[in-house]
Structure 1
């Protein structure tokens, strides 16, 4: 009997089930995307903290191009707005 969409399909006995056994470990999937490039990795649950530390270290090393923004003081804000008003 074919599955015509009206009846529930009967699972075959030779397929492996997705039931978790006691021997299997929990896994964590990490995904990252930058532009069009995508990467992913699977980490065992016991090694998640180790992975986070290594990942944070990689991010810190590659953040060398980030600079703090220069903030304007109250005087420079006043001078720049005052100049703009005088030019009109």
Structure 2
């Protein structure tokens, strides 16, 4: 039987909200990566993003998770700035 994607029933509201933040960040990063014109660069960054999120999926310390979300948002903004410059 396949593992369920539903959060465990014992998840607190804070944990649920943090999980939602992580999923939203992941989706935003993948959407931004789709705008990269070079196939090889796009593939590299998709693989990098997936690996980073996979590597950190079992993190439980709130401060570490908060730091990773902040760092991910900064990297997303930098990618978006780079893409905007490339288009202009």
TM-score, normalised to structure 2, is 0.30
Task: Identify the structure with bigger relative contact order (alpha carbons < 8 Å, sequence gap 6+).
Answer: 2
User: Over alpha carbons, which structure has the higher Rg?
Assistant: 1
TM-score, normalised to structure 1, is 0.30
Flag the structure with higher strand content. 1
Flag the structure with higher helix content. 2
